[in-house]
């Protein structure tokens, strides 16, 4: 049996969709929220017994890989693709997978009402 946990993270970022026909072609920023869901069997011994992963360990990996690198940056300078919510969610998912986390879902909230989800 597998169990999942989800934790929310936040960062501030600016971006611009240069080829977009709407307002997002202009330089602007968001208070991003993203939710990371990790799954796996429960740990059966040690100080993390009964957990999928310690929330503190999850936070360290996510902060090191995403938040600390993207917070208060111009996102267009950090990636080579259009900085849509969909593309950024995919990038977060891929980067966290490379850390060894068993990530199964990432939802990136660009506004309080709009988000993109990537999942296995």
pLDDT tens digit sequence for 39-88: 999 999 999 999 999 999 999 999 999 999 999 999 999 999 999 999 99
pTM, entire model: 0.95
Catalytic residue among 12, 28, 72, 86: 72
The per-residue pLDDT of the chain, averaged, comes to 96
- Catalytic, 86? Answer no
Catalytic residue among 24, 65, 73, 86: 24
72 as an active site residue: the answer is yes
Q: Are 105 and 118 in contact (CB under 8 A)?
A: yes
Q: Which member of 15, 30, 91, 110 is catalytic?
A: 110
Domain limits, the chain: 3-30+37-119
Decide if 24 is catalytic. Answer: yes
Confidence of residue 2 (pLDDT cuts 50, 70, 90): confident
State how far the Cα of 29 lies from the Cα of 12, in Å rounded to an integer: 7
Domain 3-30+37-119 has CATH 3.40.50.1100: no
**CA pair distance 15, 37, nearest whole angstrom:** 25
């Amino acid at each position: 049996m597998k169990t999942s946990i989800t934790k929310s993270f936040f960062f501030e970022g600016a971006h611009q969709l240069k080829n977009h026909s709407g307002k997002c072609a202009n330089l602007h920023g968001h208070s991003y929220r993203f939710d990371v869901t990790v799954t796996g069997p429960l740990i059966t011994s040690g100080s993390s017994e009964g957990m999928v992963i310690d929330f503190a360990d999850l936070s360290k990996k996510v902060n090191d890989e995403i938040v600390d690198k993207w917070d208060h940056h111009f996102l267009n300078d950090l990636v080579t693709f259009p900085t849509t919510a969909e593309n950024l969610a995919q990038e977060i998912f891929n980067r966290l997978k490379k850390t060894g986390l068993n990530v199964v879902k990432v939802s990136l909230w660009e506004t309080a009402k709009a988000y993109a989800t990537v999942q296995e």
